[in-house]
Chain A
Amino acid sequence: MKALTKKNLLILGSILLSFAIVQGLIMAGLLNAFYEITLATICINIILAVSLNLVTGFTGQFSLGHAGFMSIGAYVCAIINMEMRSTSGFLLGIFAGAIAAGLVGILIGIPTLRLKGDYLAIATLGMAEIIRVLFLNMEITNGAAGLSGIPRFTNWPWLCLFTVATVVLINNFLHSSPGRACISIREDEIAAESMGINTTKYKVMAFAIGAFFAGTAGALYSSYFYIIQPGRFDFLKSIDILVIVVLGGLGSMTGSIFAAILLAILTTFLQSFTAVRMIVYAALLVIIMIFRPKGLMGTTEINDLFSRRPFFGKKDERIE
């Protein structure tokens, strides 16, 4: 099996080790509820950021509607889970939520992905708002009050499993021929189409895959926090996800993961300085973007740092 290379075994080993350490800390009661929430937020944000990165960073389609897909996953999972209060109900809920989000992704992607750049951003923003307003007015979602009393099945092992699965699956996709087709759209759409790539198909595909995983993240979210309201999936939530992606680097998987962790730690750390919290947060974002305008990682991945591509300031680029 080619999948069992030394490198993959090393990655698997380190994932299992970090899982075991955190699990041990939780069981020993050393991790208080506050840190546990931070941990859950990190995992959910990693899934959201990595899936948005597929759409915006790799395929080059600027989407501001990721929270909309997240909310679909959250509501579908919550409704199913409240009917079937069991682990199988929880898993069915996640699956149904992700599929529903993916299908809506296809439906919305087909008309909106004809647009480019800023126009696409506005269109996706609008569609996320439509989803939010729908949830706000539907009976089954209980309007503005939202759903409460959702059974909690999301815990560290599930979070870890779904986060790792998302990262591995999207990474696999990007290193395949359909994945390269998506990246070629970001690089040069006209050339991609002239090389035999059905650009509309791959844009919609990337959009649907991104929506699918955003739905997964939403499902995990609803089952972790007991309560969901339409207001939690508004425009600002989409921006939060976009900030992670841009900060990590458009087109870098590891960048998104680092940024999700970094921002969660930063938010946690700043909790004690309530008055200046948002100012410091914003100032730090500005400073990072000034010194690393392409995000923390640019388009490089962590393993590139040890191999071919130069990381800090490419000299030849400046000459050109």
Chain B
Amino acid sequence: MSLLKVEKLTKSFGGLTAVSNVNMEIEKGELVGLIGPNGAGKTTLFNLLTGVYVPSSGQILLDIEGNVKELGGLKPYNVTKSGLARTFQNIRLFKDLTVLDNVRIAMHQNVKYGMIRAFFHSNKYFEEEARMTKEAEDLLEIFNLSGKKNELAKNLPYGEQRHLEIVRAMATKPVLLLLDEPAAGMNPNETAALTGLIQKIRKDYGLTVLLIEHDMSLVMKICERIYVLDYGMLIAAGKPEEIRNNKRVIEAYLGEEVSHA
């Protein structure tokens, strides 16, 4: 089975079906793009995958080395524990905390000391804190943020805040990384740098990545396969060059051609 298998996933809010009958498969190690016009249901799909919303119907199956797990209906923190991590479209950093603490918070689920040791600061506490700080700094180093580890997250420039979101998601040790518009608001140079970084972390950490993006230069360049959503329905799936020439996709973005003038 593929790493992630989504079957007939549907989410309705009252009378509005935001995601309808979506089928998706993501193989281990792939970099898959999810595109679609505004309001197509991309972020809703992300929220379903990460447990923010409970699906109205359908299945989300995650297969980690033969261990198949149904993610639909799990709480977000349990989804994260299962190996999915995400970033947010509108940055959701812990603004008043330092860069280092932002990353260390994401490492909390793997900490090996409990409440009593936290109160009395035992030797185990110091060992674990040193380990976490080291790992956090190593991750920050990849994104050239280790020099700013003691800055407050809100004082970072916009591009670096986006990077920190990715670092924070990486700190949960995910198998599958979901990036929600990682390049939003970036200039072409920053986007190019980000493209390189995503490819690098994917290779170095053996990650599978699913990303939502409006910047077609990024999507077409790095995605191996692309899914296209429109009005909550999957209208196309395939390699970038296939998507580029797909008639339905062009219609979704630009509108239908008027057949009789």
Contacts and interface: CB of A to CB of B under 8 A. Distances in A.
Interface string A182-199: 011001101111111111
Interface stretch (B12-20, B116-124, B212-220): B116-124
Interface string A167-209: 0010011001111110110011011111111110000010000
Contacts of B172: 195-196
B77 A177 contact: no
A220 B119 CA distance: 21
Given A173-B119, A191-B94, A205-B115, A197 B105 contact: yes
Contacts of B125: 176
Contacts of A2: 126
A3 interface: yes
B128 interface: yes
B87 to A, nearest CB: 9
A316 interface: yes
Interface of A: 2-3, 169, 172-173, 176-181, 183-184, 187-188, 190-199, 205, 299, 308-309, 316
A196 B119 contact: no
Contacts, number: 106
Nearest to B153: A187
B94 A187 contact: yes
A205 B116 CA distance: 12
Interface residues of B, number: 44
A169 to B, nearest CB: 5
Interface stretch (B64-72, B95-103, B197-205): B95-103
A196 B80 CA distance: 5
B70 to A, nearest CB: 18
A184 B94 contact: yes
Contacts of A187: 93-97
Contacts of B231: none
B161 interface: no
B106 A195 contact: yes
B22 interface: no
Given A196-B172, A308-B150, A177 B119 contact: no
Given A172-B119, A180-B105, A195-B105, 6 more contacts: A3-B121, A169-B120, A173-B115, A176-B121, A178-B108, A178-B114
Closest 8 CB pairs between A and B? A176-B118, A187-B94, A196-B109, A196-B80, A191-B92, A195-B106, A193-B76, A177-B111
B168 A195 contact: yes
Contacts of A177: 104, 107-108, 111, 113, 118, 128-129, 132
B50 interface: yes
Contact of A188 (B85, B93, B106, B118): B93
A188 B92 contact: yes
B158 to A, nearest CB: 11
Nearest to B87: A194
A177 B118 CA distance: 7
B192 to A, nearest CB: 27
B81 interface: yes
Contacts of B246: none
B75 interface: yes
Nearest to B151: A308
A191 B80 CA distance: 11
B52 interface: yes
